């Protein structure tokens, strides 16, 4: 149907920066505001999709007409995504997931003592990579936030994480990446560059990515 290219599709989008607890009052996070993921949620809904937004610490209002699942850590997000994985047609991983978390979250507030404090961090689960391994019919869209060698890193993430598309942003550029209302991206598939989108509203980035996804999903059920 014209204007509703995602009608009847179920989409899960992750947004925001995960929170990895150090103790009851402190945590590690990152600069993601959730705007990019929220733009995907809103745009997909307008294109006819049934949308679930898995939201970690997002700084903007949730769009109307979608299901929101608030989460904190990478572990929580992993669980929330996998609970919905089987029924999903498209999964968009716009969240900035922590790569490491404190080995243990202290049960009580850590007291100040000594001149230095060492936190031991352990790797978190790579959600996109585990989705890539579990992929059957789903169309999987990952992101790559880079400060250098964008093409190289995007290509390696696409391959390693078995994504259908990687949306790569050079987060050192003005108006691109974390916290802004705009973004500029290069979209890659296994063959290489699919499309380059110069700085524009995050909703417009989402719309163009979702149109590519919709056209490539035809024939999948």
Is 221 part of any known ligand binding site?
A: no
Q: Does 157 engage in binding with ligand PMT (CB under 6 A)?
A: yes
How far, in Å, CA of 69 to CA of 54, rounded?
A: 5
Is 46 part of any known ligand binding site?
A: no
Query: What letter would DSSP give residue 3?
Result: T
Which helix (H) or strand (E) segment holds residue 214: the answer is: helix 202-217
Q: Does 207 engage in binding with ligand PMT (CB under 6 A)?
A: no
Site for ligand PMT in 40-69 (CB under 6 A): none
Q: Does 34 engage in binding with ligand PMT (CB under 6 A)?
A: yes
Strands (E), 94-134: 100-102, 121-123
Residue 92 CB, nearest distance to ligand PMT (Å)?
A: 8
b/e code 88-122 from CB counts within 10 Å (16+ = b): bbbbbbbbbbbeebbeeeeeeeeeeeeeeeeeeee
Residues with a catalytic annotation lie at 30
How does strand 50-56 pair with strand 100-102?
A: unpaired
Applying CB under 6 A, among 11, 47, 71, 96 the residue interacting with ligand PMT is 96
Is 109 part of any known ligand binding site?
A: yes
Q: Does 99 engage in binding with ligand PMT (CB under 6 A)?
A: yes
Contact indicator for 96, 145 with CB cutoff of 8 Å = yes
Whose Cβ is closer to ligand PMT: residue 24's or residue 196's? 196
Is 161 part of any known ligand binding site?
A: yes
Site for ligand PMT in 66-95 (CB under 6 A): 74, 93-95
Which helix (H) or strand (E) segment holds residue 46: the answer is: helix 35-46
Q: Does 32 engage in binding with ligand PMT (CB under 6 A)?
A: yes
Is 42 part of any known ligand binding site?
A: no
Would you state the structure tokens that stand for residue 204, as one six-digit string? 């417009």
Known binding site for CTP: residues?
Answer: 99, 109, 143, 157, 161
Residues that bind ligand PMT (CB under 6 A): 32-36, 74, 93-97, 99, 124, 126-128, 142-145, 157, 169, 171, 177-179
């Amino acid at each position: 149907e014209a204007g509703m290219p995602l009608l009847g599709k179920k989409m899960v989008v992750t947004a925001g920066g995960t929170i990895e607890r150090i103790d009851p009052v402190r945590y590690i996070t990152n600069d993601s505001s959730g705007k990019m993921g929220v733009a995907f949620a809103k745009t997909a809904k307008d294109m006819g999709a049934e949308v679930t937004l898995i939201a970690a610490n997002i700084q903007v209002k949730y769009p109307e007409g979608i299901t929101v699942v608030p989460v904190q850590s990478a572990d929580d997000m992993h669980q929330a995504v996998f609970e919905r994985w089987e029924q999903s047609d498209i999964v968009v991983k716009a969240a900035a997931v922590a790569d490491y978390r404190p080995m243990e979250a202290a049960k009580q507030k850590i007291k100040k003592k000594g001149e230095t404090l060492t936190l031991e961090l352990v790797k978190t689960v790579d959600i996109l990579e585990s989705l890539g391994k579990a992929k059957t019919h789903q169309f999987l869209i990952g992101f790559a936030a880079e400060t250098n060698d964008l093409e190289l890193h995007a290509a390696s993430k696409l391959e390693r994480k078995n994504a259908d598309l990687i949306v790569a942003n050079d987060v050192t550029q003005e108006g691109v990446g974390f916290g802004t209302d705009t973004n500029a991206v290069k979209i890659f598939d296994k063959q290489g560059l699919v499309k380059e989108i110069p700085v524009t509203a995050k909703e417009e980035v989402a719309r163009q990515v979702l149109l590519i996804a919709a056209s490539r999903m035809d024939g999948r059920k």
